[in-house]
Amino acid sequence: MLRRSWKIRIAKGVALAMLPLSLAAAFVVTFPFSDTLASKNCSLRDLSNVQRSNIRIASHAMNGVVVKPGEVFSFNKIVGPRTDGRGYRAAPSYLETGSPATVGGGICLLSSAMYQAALESGCPVTERTAHTRTIRSVPPGLDSTVWFGQVDLKFRNPYPAPIQIATEWTPGQLKIRILGKKSDKIQTGELRTLISNHNREEIVVEVVRNTSVKEEFISRDHYVLSH
């Protein structure tokens, strides 16, 4: 079961190498999230105050979540339904060819950032749906739309140790990190987008992940261009 962990701060300047061997081993066991496996920063400056508020609520629900080895992270399961009673408000969202106000509008920026972080950390994505048209806040090919009860974002932890989701929200910026212990068996990498077809009405975007040993194909998505 996905769970939360206690946040424990380590004093600055304390290096693992300076600790006695037995204490250093205990540190590794007690603090398994010492490495940043992936990190994404997103500007919120172009979003409305309501969209920012929706992202704040959803990102708070994700902060501190731990995914055990082999477990699958589900965005909808962690964030839960987007309802008025849970503090979400109606805001513009991308739905088919329109931009209606829906409760929780704006949180696709959060799910998209989580999608990118999962790919860069080497976590296999088991469910992801792209928008049908380009959106202003996320480059095409790197987006992941979510709709509670219908469309989800899911990825699996392939690491031999747990990983943890860490989020930081300010009115102007969202930061997502995936923390854990690096493994020689898991390759982290950077994402690169390639436009394979482009005209005045539509675009086709391919995404690849570059690691230290190979280039891996991730996705090929078709979008209607927003004007």
Domain membership flag for residue 83: yes
Mean pLDDT along residues 170-193: 96
**Rounded Cα distance, 111 and 213, in Å:** 28
Answer yes or no: is 177 within a domain. yes
Rounded average pLDDT over 60-76: 97
Q: Are 221 and 212 in contact (CB under 8 A)?
A: no
154 assigned to some structural domain: yes
Look up the domain containing 39 and give its range.
30-185
Q: What is the pTM of this model?
A: 0.85
Residues 6+ apart with CB under 8 A from 116: 38, 40, 142, 191
pLDDT at 86 over 70: yes
Residue at 12 is within a domain:
no
Q: Flag the least confident range among 1-5, 131-135, 162-166, 178-182.
A: 1-5
Average pLDDT over residues 134-154: 94
Residue 111 lies in a domain: yes
Q: In the prediction, which pLDDT does 196 show?
A: 84
Tell me if 79 sits within 8 A of 27, measured CB to CB: no
Confidence tier at 95 by pLDDT (50, 70, 90): low
- Whether 192 is in a domain gets the answer no
Domain count, the chain: 1
Give domain status of residue 99, yes or no. Answer: yes
222 domain residue, yes or no? no
pLDDT (0 to 100) of residue 94: 75
